[in-house]
Structure 1
Amino acid sequence: MRIDVSLLPALAAAFMLVFARIGAMVMLLPGLGETNIPVRIKLAIALLLTLIILPLHRAAYHIDMQSISSLLVLMVYEIIIGIVLGATARVTLSALQVAGSVIAQQMGLGFVTAVDPTQGQQGLLIGNFLTLLGITLLFATDSHHLVIAALNDSYTIFSPGEVMPSGDVAALATRAFAAAFKIGMQLSAPFLVFGLVFNIGLGVLARLMPQMQVYFVGVPLAILFGFLIFALVLTALMGTFLDYFIGVMHELIPLK
């Protein structure tokens, strides 16, 4: 009995190329690419996804085992695609940080910072809370499955070995950053209105009663009313964010 193992080198090369795309994406994904997640867990998830995706798209890779340079070019290409996909999902989450920063400023809590557990750096407390809540909702509603679907369909948009459409990638990045800032400002719109009305009211009060210490009265009231508004709009705020995230992921999934 004779076993043909000549296909193993090409199969191993295809596995590494798929792993490069998936690994680069997993390292940036919300909820999976956080700094407090052990690297072994990230690698295990990337390997598991590679074993699932590889049989589906093995035929898309045309590998020349005689040329190391072509393999290296393919590897860089796959890493860049993974970074683009992962960064797009990551940028959507930054909308919550933008909204949290504006909300904290309007509530008078712009100086209250804490370590962001998702990034391992200082961030405003409201923004950290919204980010954690957003990640929790993504997994609770199974919206992270859309990211895996986008990864699978990325082989339709970015076929292995083809010239990368740099213009489309740049347009995608521009739209992602612009949409994240836009949604962040829209999520914080009730607090912008509240801050404007409240500060105008304090200004009028200061003119009517100059002897009153407006600052010591205004700051506690801003925090109190700010938290009341926050409790009232939190459900609608996170629902809007989920719709935005799902819309971004559907843009990465080509129509069948």
Structure 2
Amino acid sequence: MTIDLLPDEVAAFLLILARVGALVMLLPALGEENVSPRFRLTIAVLFAFVFWPFARPLYAVDADDPARLIGLAVSEIAVGLALGLVGRFIMSALSVAGNVIANQLGLGFVQTLDPTQGQQGAIMGAFLTLVGVALIFATDLHHLFITAVAESYEAFRPGAFPEAGDAAKLATGAVGDAFRIGVQLSAPFLVFGLIFNLGLGVLSRLMPQLQVFFIAAPLSLIAGFALLALVIGVLMSVFLEGVGDTLRLLTGR
């Protein structure tokens, strides 16, 4: 390699970094606001070095053509953002489930900071999200995100901008999966809320003088937390299965 090739190699590395960096920016756990930007940049640079050996031959780079380099950079960022948004949408399933569960238990008014959403959310949603992120790393599902980047070089060759129709189909599919998984996770609590409220209605008709609200609030919390302790393992298993299926669809495996 001569010094004349250095600008082209640097430009190719930056293009790889653009695709990987866009993904890391949105990757669950790594792409949160409370994670140091230097740490995220370090992870992205390390990933770019990992992908360099097989990704570099796919780039036809000419450092003397800035217009083409800008076009390549935009397409690479678009691919990375598309993959990262899928992961972010899937994680929102836990927020959906957490909000439904909190409303069923009477905790919908209790708000706390959700580190994965960067805003206030139901405390149950924040709890489930943190558990989900920990389990994703514990079960090595985050490796599928990295595999998705590697496989994206087959689906989206450098210089090929993602088609709007395909991107929209991917986004709508990810959002639909997130709501489907969220409803599945909260299904036991929807059934619990229906039965519990029907029971309270019958009780209030049988004993009109009874202050049902003062009995319902503590009973709802106690029974709800007991149900959560019983089914949380199953809920997280369903979530991890849904995440794995979505990511395997991206990787074509």
Match of 2:82 among 81, 84, 109: 84
Structure 1 counterpart SS, 2:120: strand
| 2:4 equivalent in structure 1 | 6
Please show how residues 202-241 of structure 1 align to structure 2 within 5 Å.
202-241=200-239
Q: Report the Cα offset of residue 118 of structure 1.
A: 2.8
Which whole-Å CA distance do the structure 2 matches of 1:173 and 1:119 have between them?
18
Match of 1:24 among 22, 31, 36: 22
Matched, 1:73 2:98: no
Unaligned runs of 5+ in 1: none
Which whole-Å CA distance do the structure 1 matches of 2:149 and 2:46 have between them?
13
* Identity across the alignment (%): 52
Q: Report the Cα offset of residue 233 of structure 1.
A: 0.6
Structure 1 counterpart SS, 2:162: coil
Q: CA deviation digits over 1:7-36, x for unaligned, max 9?
A: 111111100101011111101000100111
Q: CA deviation digits over 1:78-127, x for unaligned, max 9?
A: 11111111110111100000000000000111111111233332111100
Which whole-Å CA distance do the structure 1 matches of 2:123 and 2:162 have between them?
40
Structure 2 counterpart SS, 1:123: strand
Matched, 1:188 2:186: yes
Which whole-Å CA distance do the structure 2 matches of 1:25 and 1:101 have between them?
27
Structure 2 counterpart SS, 1:7: helix
Q: CA deviation digits over 1:168-203, x for unaligned, max 9?
A: 111010000011011101110000001011101111
Q: Report the Cα offset of residue 163 of structure 1.
A: 4.1
Which whole-Å CA distance do the structure 1 matches of 2:63 and 2:27 have between them?
32
| 8 A contact 2:93–2:181 mirrored in 1 | yes
Which whole-Å CA distance do the structure 2 matches of 1:56 and 1:7 have between them?
18
Question: AA paired with 1:130?
Answer: L
| 1:63 equivalent in structure 2 | 61
Match of 2:124 among 123, 126, 130: 126
Structure 1 counterpart SS, 2:3: coil
Where is the helix percentage greater, Structure 1 or Structure 2?
2
Which whole-Å CA distance do the structure 1 matches of 2:233 and 2:37 have between them?
33
Question: AA paired with 2:100?
Answer: V
| 8 A contact 1:113–1:124 mirrored in 2 | yes
Which whole-Å CA distance do the structure 1 matches of 2:246 and 2:172 have between them?
13
TM-score by structure 2 length? Answer: 0.97
Which whole-Å CA distance do the structure 1 matches of 2:10 and 2:64 have between them?
14
Match of 1:168 among 166, 169, 174: 166
How many residues are treated as equivalent by the alignment? Answer: 253
Q: Report the Cα offset of residue 254 of structure 1.
A: 2.6
Question: AA paired with 1:107?
Answer: L
TM-score by structure 1 length? Answer: 0.96
Structure 2 counterpart SS, 1:128: helix
With 227-236 and 55-64 compared, the bigger mean Cα shift is at 55-64
Matched, 1:242 2:231: no
| 8 A contact 1:36–1:118 mirrored in 2 | no
Which whole-Å CA distance do the structure 2 matches of 1:113 and 1:161 have between them?
44
| 8 A contact 1:35–1:120 mirrored in 2 | yes
Question: AA paired with 2:203?
Answer: L
CA RMSD of aligned residues (A): 1.1
Structure 2 counterpart SS, 1:226: helix
Match of 1:37 among 25, 35, 38: 35
| 1:252 equivalent in structure 2 | 250
| 8 A contact 1:20–1:75 mirrored in 2 | yes
Q: Report the Cα offset of residue 162 of structure 1.
A: 2.1
Structure 2 counterpart SS, 1:159: coil
